[in-house]
Amino acid sequence: MRNDDERYILELCRTIPEMNPRYATAEEDYGHKKADVVLEYQGRTIYLQISHSPKSRQQQRALLERGTHPLATHTYREQRTPDDELRSRILDIVTAQQGGA
């Protein structure tokens, strides 16, 4: 079952040109990647784990070691991160992924 934050990020990614987002498959979600949303962008696959509030540094490191990028929809408990900032973070992740390959 998908939560509101996952749906929100999926729809936000659909507004970015050339981005083809989809929900993670059961294998991607429950397996090694622990991803919620998968982005296909310029021939690359990027895995995102979506959460309501930011992950701890330890959790972020563990996800990044798996090749999955954490992304929170809220800065604080009930303060939603603006769309432009989330879009910028997503593009930063994609750009970093391109540079590293």
Q: How many helices (H) and strands (E) does the chain have?
A: 4, 6
What's the pTM value of the predicted model, to 2 decimals?
Answer: 0.90
| Angle between helix 83-100 and helix 4-13 axes, rounded to 10 deg | 70
pLDDT in tens, 28-51: 999 999 999 999 999 999 999 999
* pLDDT at site 98: 64
List, for residues 3-36, the tens digit of each pLDDT value. Answer: 999 999 999 999 999 999 999 999 999 999 999 9
Q: Tell me the domain boundaries of the chain.
A: 4-100
Query: Is 70 in a helix, a strand, or coil?
Result: strand
Mean pLDDT (the chain, rounded): 92
Reported in sequence order, the residue ranges of 1-101 that DSSP labels E, i.e. its strands, are: 19-23, 37-41, 44-51, 68-72, 74-76, 79-80
Q: Are strands 68-72 and 44-51 parallel, antiparallel or unpaired?
A: parallel
Average pLDDT score over residue span 47-70: 95
- Is the predicted pLDDT of residue 54 greater than 80, yes or no? yes
CATH of region 4-100: 3.40.1350
